[in-house]
Amino acid sequence: MTGICESRVCIVTGAGRGIGREHSLMLAEQGAKVVVNDLGGGIDGEGRSTGPAQDVVDEIEAMGGEAVSNGDDISDWDGAKRLVDQAVETFGGLDVVINNAGILRDRMLTNMSEAEWDAVIKVHLKGTFAPSRHAAAYWRERAKAGEANDARIINTSSPSGIYGNVGQTNYGAAKGAIASFTIIAAKELGRYGVTVNAIAPAALTRMTENLGMGQADEATKEKLSPRWIAPIVTWLASPESREVTGRVFDVTGQALSVAEGWHRGPTAEPVDDPAALGPIVTKLVAEARPNANMFGYDES
């Protein structure tokens, strides 16, 4: 199969269903060789099955593509290493890591348990760090050996992380951290021929159907289909994107945007008397741009 990702070796985590499945299928359609990683668990991370990942592999092979399944836990250090090693050993190299795996354990902050916090942070944040770390080490060694890389890390943030959403302090904290991780990793890995970008997708999947999206009308559901997320990820995975790094793309079936990060806003001279800060801070806040709502626009 030929396309903009011809012969690119790509890992996709959480690829058995939803957005990850769409990534895998489109990458394969565009000529990539895909390592389909998925634990096959529920949206809360519980349970395990090889079925979802293998089903996607079967779909790819049925259309003439190349793929292999992987059931490792990407939030486990050794599991993430096995995933990277499998890509290299199976297809002879590694070009792209797409960190997509995630779970939900939504709860208001006053009711959230330690276990609910830890599980979400582990899967999303460590599950982004660990595969990225092992892939980066592989690319660094290639660069040291004089070999050229044209490699990609593509992470998955969320509107909950970059804009904020009630009931998701754990999920939003992890996704906001992933956006920051993306920007910093891009600065570090450019010297090795690696770009690092992220998407903040909104799509109707089994993880979001209980957040109100499942009650949308059919036309809206089509615009929220996860198939709309795959094109930007596939392009970012391709050689065409080599000049783009350190960016977070806000993407749905309704719009594709570049999310603009934190910038220094209205500023005042510092004072050493806290009693004098009231009118100063009031003026700064009044002059500052409001925080964004979940759609990325100023709250009214």
Catalytic one of 81, 171, 238, 241: 171
Q: Token pair of 248, please?
A: 């977070």
CB atoms within 10 A of CB 149: 18
Tally the residues of the chain. Answer: 300
Three state DSSP letters for 69-96 = EECCCCCCHHHHHHHHHHHHHHHCCCCE
Q: Which residue in the block uniquely carries the two structure tokens 């350190």?
A: 246
User: Does residue 171 carry a catalytic annotation?
Assistant: yes
Q: Token pair of 197, please?
A: 């970008």
What is the Cα gyration radius of the chain?
20
CB atoms within 10 A of CB 91: 20
Catalytic one of 175, 192, 238, 241: 175
Catalytic one of 69, 132, 158, 160: 158
User: Does residue 175 carry a catalytic annotation?
Assistant: yes
Ordered strands of the 96-98 beta sheet: 66-70, 33-37, 9-12, 96-98, 151-156, 194-201, 248-251, 256-259
214 DSSP 8-state letter = G
Q: Nearest Cα to 237, choosing from 53, 18, 34?
A: 34
- Indicate which residues carry an active-site annotation: 158, 171, 175
